[in-house]
Structure 1
Amino acid sequence: MEQLIYLYGLIPTSELSSEPLPPMKGFDQEGELYPIQIGQHSAVVCKLDGSEYSEEKIKERVDQDMEWLQEKAFHHHETVMQLAKSYTTIPLKFCTLYKSEESLMKTIEDHEIKLAETFSSLKGNEEWNVKIYCDDQLLHEEVAKNNPAVEARKEEIKELPRGKQFFENKKLDKVIAEEAEAEKERVGEEVHNHLLNYVLQGTVKRNWNKDVTGKKENMTWNGVYLIPKEKVETFLEQIQDYEKKMGEKGWQFIASGPWPAYHFSQFS
């Protein structure tokens, strides 16, 4: 029976030596996770039946069985989360498979220097996510009353003949909508640039739609940050300050973490 190697993540061998890997079930819920030591780095893996978990079989299950996908994706996420709580962890994406321990070991050895640099950048730091949401109705009302571009357009319309004013007022809604979108971007960039003062790295991700978030408000910004552990409290205080200042106007600032450092430890 051909066996495959499922890779969850990489951790420093030195940390594994001082704190052995706790018992954890593998991807098939039968085998156990175990470490493969490759010099300074150790791979946390489990073995899988190659006939059941081949690339073709997994693709078929992903396409046809949403319940299976959710169950396995949750298992992967929870396992990597548990590793990240105890070790400096380079997390791997869902369903990272190798044909043998030898092929995995060769890959790690070929990237020895890059991995060492990545572990050095992650040690003592945490990944956090910040999402900004906005109540569109409240924002449109605010923009309609206080936006300089909208006010200027209103003054222009007042100077027009009454007949034209009616049609131009109709067009004003479009101006308000455009200025509201610009305000979302401005707030996001302002918050992001401010938060960069408290972090080692920060990057912007694609916004999620309401089907994913389950919220009635639109997501307007989605940032991830790598933060020294000793600065996390100060970082979160900045988020709370924004919430206090802008919450009544329909803005929400939600920080979550710490997460496995997927965005700051790319390894394929």
Structure 2
Amino acid sequence: MGNLLYLYGLIPSKEAEQSLPALKDFDGNGDIYMIPVGKITAIVCNLDAENYSEEMLKERINNDMEWLQEKAFHHHETVLKLANLYTIVPLKFCTLYKNQDSLENAVIENEAKLLDTFGLIKGNEEWNLKIYCDDHLLKKQVGENNPTIEAKKEEISQLSKGKQFFEKKKLDKLIESELEAEKNKTSEKIHLQLKGLALRGDVKKAWSNDVTGRKEDMTWNSVYLIPKTKVESFLEEVRRYEKDMKEKGWKFEATGPWPAYHFTSF
């Protein structure tokens, strides 16, 4: 059936003059290589079309977790190594083309957009920030210092014992609501301040505890495209927040630099 092309990423052809390091391909049997398409160069490897048909890929991805983890790790590590050498538009895991012509046509159709993207990401780094919070600790502070809750407590204290029982249940729900509002307000304020150091900053969906494996809730998940000259200032700000807010139950996790997955598309 011939070969498919597995696409890792796209780089400016002028950077392709720097030779590609010896990196094993998706199956570990050969090496990845370059295909120049005008001003853009694709970094690919060959895959046997019979072993990687659409049906077989779906079966593997849905039912073989060990294979999926191994191959996803290979893709991530390969793109990460390439990002250390080139200005790269990274492709999603398992981006396949039937042949070289179909890949070249796709690149040519998107040439203008890709060249603009190279201009955006060159000299910049993608960093991720996750903010965690100890709800138990913060809830205590909210319950003691929130004006809305203080007013509700005062209102309840004026009621009869019977009515107080039911109103205290409402108070618990109010505290939960104010807790979430406080977490979002604080996180958004931090995000906007950090965004001032970045070219772009986007908010992502927070992960559940099942995914993070942590006891603290993830309150915020954001990603930034930061000029290399401002990365240290960004990290210093994160460390300052960590120091100032640790006793209040807040934790910060900045990771990077990553290939610019969130600020590129193809």
TM-score category, normalised to shorter length: over 0.9
| Partner Cα separation in structure 1 for residue 240 and residue 8 of structure 2 | 37
- Per-residue deviation at 1:163? 2.3
Q: How does 1:212-231 map to 2 (within 5 A)?
A: 212-231=211-230
Q: For 1:93, what is the secondary structure of its paired residue?
A: coil
| Partner Cα separation in structure 2 for residue 46 and residue 170 of structure 1 | 61
- Pair 1:205 & 2:201 matched: no
| Partner Cα separation in structure 1 for residue 220 and residue 169 of structure 2 | 29
Aligned match of 2:253? 254
Q: For 2:120, what is the secondary structure of its paired residue?
A: helix
Q: How does 1:145-160 map to 2 (within 5 A)?
A: 145-160=144-159
Aligned match of 1:3? 3
- Per-residue deviation at 1:258? 0.3
Q: For 2:79, what is the secondary structure of its paired residue?
A: helix
Q: For 2:84, what is the secondary structure of its paired residue?
A: helix
Aligned match of 2:99? 100
- Per-residue deviation at 1:220? 0.6
- Pair 1:172 & 2:190 matched: no
| Partner Cα separation in structure 1 for residue 29 and residue 244 of structure 2 | 51
- Per-residue deviation at 1:194? 0.6
- Per-residue deviation at 1:212? 1.2
Unaligned runs of 5+ in 1: none
* Corresponding residue pairs, total: 266
- Per-residue deviation at 1:242? 0.8
| Partner Cα separation in structure 2 for residue 102 and residue 246 of structure 1 | 55
| Partner Cα separation in structure 2 for residue 217 and residue 14 of structure 1 | 46
| Partner Cα separation in structure 1 for residue 217 and residue 129 of structure 2 | 14
- Per-residue deviation at 1:107? 0.6
Deviates more, 1:240-249 or 1:220-229: 240-249
| Partner Cα separation in structure 2 for residue 217 and residue 127 of structure 1 | 25
- Per-residue deviation at 1:14? 1.0
The one-letter amino acid paired with 1:165 is: Q
Aligned match of 1:120? 119
| Partner Cα separation in structure 2 for residue 107 and residue 161 of structure 1 | 73
Q: For 1:198, what is the secondary structure of its paired residue?
A: coil
Aligned match of 1:89? 88
Aligned match of 1:79? 78
Q: For 1:170, what is the secondary structure of its paired residue?
A: helix
The one-letter amino acid paired with 1:3 is: N
- Per-residue deviation at 1:31? 1.9
Encode CA deviations 1:211-268: one digit per residue, 9 max, x unaligned: 211111110100000000000000111111111111111101110000010000111x
| Partner Cα separation in structure 1 for residue 168 and residue 55 of structure 2 | 58
- Per-residue deviation at 1:166? 2.5
| Partner Cα separation in structure 2 for residue 86 and residue 147 of structure 1 | 51
| Partner Cα separation in structure 2 for residue 245 and residue 149 of structure 1 | 25
Aligned match of 1:110? 109
Alignment TM-score, normalising by the size of structure 1: 0.97
| Partner Cα separation in structure 1 for residue 101 and residue 168 of structure 2 | 70
Unaligned runs of 5+ in 2: none
| Partner Cα separation in structure 1 for residue 54 and residue 147 of structure 2 | 57
RMSD, aligned CA: 0.9
- Per-residue deviation at 1:167? 2.2
- Pair 1:28 & 2:57 matched: no
The one-letter amino acid paired with 2:63 is: Q
Encode CA deviations 1:18-42: one digit per residue, 9 max, x unaligned: x210011111111210000011111
Alignment TM-score, normalising by the size of structure 2: 0.98
